[in-house]
Amino acid sequence: MSIAGIILCAGKSTRMKSARSKVLHSVCGKPLCHWVIEKALQVCDGPIVVVVGFQADEVQKNIEGRFGARILFAQQKEQKGTADAVFTGLGALPDFHGTLLVMYGDTPALDVEKLSELCKNQHKSNCKVALLTTQHFFAADSGYGRIVRQKDGSIAKIVEEIDASEEEKKINEVNVGVYAFDADFLRQIPLKLKPSNKKNELYLTDAIALAKTHAPVVSIEIPYHESIGVNDRSDLARIEYCLYQQIVERWMLAGVTFSDSAHICVEAEVRLGQDILLEPGVQLRGKTLIANNVTIGTGSILRDTIVEEGAVIHPYSICENAHIGRNAQVGPFARLRPNSILEENAKIGNFVETKNTRFRKGSKANHLAYIGDAEVGEASNVGAGTITCNYDGFGKHKTILGDRVFIGSNSTLVAPLTIGNGAYVAAGSTVTKDVADNTLAIGRGRQENKAGYASRLRDRLKKRKETDC
């Protein structure tokens, strides 16, 4: 049995109230259409065609960027209905004979096993079409097509809501919009369909009535949450909630502890080890990778970040495109910007920000510092209030600290700058010249103490204030 796919991504979807194609809206970290295409790739052994229309170039570019040459494209230049879209896709498969899986690009929660079963049922029963249905007990004004059955229980037709009678609108069994067609049958019916509905479009559902004249239509009922298609932002929120719950359930079964699963966000492409503790409000986004025995504290947000075994991310830390080494510590209230690398046992403490910086093994910046475009050697200490002056208004410059360097509090390191192994920078220094190994650098103004002058200064300031008043 050979299975090809057609995925419909041409619609404008005015109900989204968006200038962007609906299928490019993100759910759990990736576009809606990516979810559907990934599932089609698991089911289909033949080619997959994505039908584009609204914002065709943007949709095609996005899909090609993720899936490359594995996907074919067909453009529906005028949106004349779902049947016209499928026939457009079928035109890209002139030599295909087998089962054709048809899906919408906005139904991300479909189950791969059910899709495979649908295609197998179509092939084994030799029917012209098999389809998925679901029970929607709030179907009135939902936009779903109703499944109309004959007295013997077989499917007679599908009626779109806009064309349904009041009695038909009371039907709770609805069409999901996923079909397994016999490809040769589908090629024969374009001239048999007429735009007889109120919107003057060609509906794919009209093919069901034609198919049943050859053989009974096969159906599989699936749970409603798997069938949700996205028509507006309310649907988008609903399906995202369902998918997040599936993701959380999968990781809990794999050995991850969620201390408050309803308020933790783990996106689809995140990968987790075992014995991880995720506290309330944690967000793991993008291609974040967390190894075993890691704790991530309340309110922390990690995007495209690698965390090695035994590391601790304390509450309310933000890490983006960072690499956190084995047994390292971050936060609380720390920010690791792109290309921040912490080696084993390194520590970035509260209100410390790093960017394009490597902290080597055992080095630390415990409080209130900005370290950007820097290399910090092993076992070095960066004191509170320290900043690297890495930008001169035109370009970025690098600060290099050797091993076992001590930077006193409130120091200003003006790049480009190299501070050698074992060097010591006195607190409050502004350092503009390189510091050799094992050297003490003091870069601050000379202090002068004037005995008795404090009271004279207060009197002078007091008189100035009175005069101003």
Specify the pLDDT at position 408. 97
Specify the pLDDT at position 203. 80
Specify the pLDDT at position 283. 98
Q: Which of 242, 234, 238, 267 is nearest to 13 (CA)?
A: 234
How far apart CA 21 and CA 32 sit, in angstroms, is 10
Burial of 466 (0-12, 13-18, 19+ CB in 10 A): exposed
How far apart CA 115 and CA 280 sit, in angstroms, is 35
Q: How far apart are the first and last CA of the chain?
A: 94
How far apart CA 468 and CA 285 sit, in angstroms, is 57
Show the tokens assigned to 326: 């084995």
∠ CA 444-446-448 to the nearest 5 degrees? 140
How far apart CA 300 and CA 313 sit, in angstroms, is 8
Specify the pLDDT at position 122. 94
Show the tokens assigned to 185: 């049958």
Burial of 221 (0-12, 13-18, 19+ CB in 10 A): middle
Low-confidence ranges of the chain (pLDDT < 70): 138-142, 191, 195-200, 469
Specify the pLDDT at position 265. 96
Q: Which of 83, 7, 88 is nearest to 47 (CA)?
A: 7
Residue corresponding to tokens 């709770």: 172
- Contacts with 146 (C-beta within 8 Å, 6 or more apart), sequence order: 139, 158, 159, 161, 164, 168, 169, 171, 173, 174, 175
Q: Is 397 a catalytic site residue?
A: no
Q: Are strands 424-425 and 440-441 parallel, antiparallel or unpaired?
A: parallel
Specify the pLDDT at position 198. 60
In three-state secondary structure terms, 15 is helix
Q: Are strands 155-159 and 218-221 parallel, antiparallel or unpaired?
A: unpaired
Neighbours of 292 (CB within 10 A): 13
Domains of the chain in start order, with CATH, are 3-233 (3.90.550.10), 246-441 (2.160.10.10)
Residue pair 401/417 in contact by the 8 Å Cβ criterion: no
**Could you say which DSSP state residue 24 is in?**
G
Specify the pLDDT at position 469. 66
Q: What's the half-sphere exposure (Cβ side, CA atoms, 13 Å) at 386?
A: 27
Specify the pLDDT at position 160. 85
In the set 123, 225, 263, 367, the catalytic residue is 367
Span 54-111, pLDDT tens digits: 999 999 999 999 999 999 999 998 877 888 899 999 999 999 999 999 999 999 999 9
